[in-house]
Each structure stands twice: as C-alpha cells, then as structure tokens.
Amino acid sequence: MSCSLLVTDFISWKENQKTQVQRKITTRRDVLQKGPKTVMPLKAAEPFEYESPEEEKSTIFHATVVTARQFFQLKVFNNLKKKFTKQKVIIKSDYCEYKEILEINKASSVSEVGLDQKFEVPNSIIKIANEISKIR
C-alpha cells in the first residue's frame, strides 16, 4: 500500500464523518413542542434588532425562565417583552426546543396565568439559574 492511498482514504473517511455529524445536528435541532409549558421569567435582556436571511429586520430578546424542575434560556422572536417580567407566570406553547434553549417565534403562543393558579419554584433552581445564566 502506498502512503498516498492511505491519505486519500483518511480524507474520504474524515469528510464522511463530518457529513454524518452535520446530519445529526440538523435532525436534533428545533424540535417543535406543541403542548403548553408553564414557566416563570427570571430575567430578560433588552430587545435588539437583527437581520436574518429569510426575513428582513426583526426584533429578538433573550430571557431566562424556570419551571418547577429546571431552567431554560429563551430566544424570543416577537414583541412579547412586557409578558416576560420577573415573577410573572406565563404559559407558552408551540415553541421550539433544543437542549436547554427554547425558541418562541411568530407561531408560538404566550399567555399569562391567572392569579388564582399557584406555581412554586424551589429556591435552589432559581439560584442555579441566576448563577449559570448570563444574558448579554
């Protein structure tokens, strides 16, 4: 066997691995969640404008929310900043999820929970979320 054959085989194998990894990333990304999820916002950054290839200029902001068991980072692609105030309980549905990042877009639904509905979050989860999540 010549050395050039081994190098060619290695390059071909490496490109195949890269393609497989890209395919896995694409299939794992943006899983649409239909059911409602009740969350409590901890903090929300100021909205900023961005320009995407699909759309013209749009507004986005980032937020940290908690459930009774865990916390999430949110990307909010519509003008819902006033619903994401600290200690307000909201229900969101039709959102996309990837690991601990949730995405709320034009197809998502966000509504406030009535005052009579209780929602308790352990202080330990709030503390961890505040320590770990740094919104810039």
pLDDT (tens, 9 = 90+) of the chain, 136 residues, equals 444 445 555 556 556 655 555 554 444 456 888 888 888 888 888 888 887 776 677 888 999 998 888 888 888 887 788 888 877 888 888 888 887 688 888 888 888 887 667 778 888 888 888 887 665 5
pTM over 0.95: no
Domains of the chain plus CATH, in order, are 31-132 (2.40.50.140)
**Token match 């994401």: residue?**
84
> CA–CA distance from 129 to each of 30, 40, 67, 96, 120 (Å)?
22, 12, 11, 20, 15
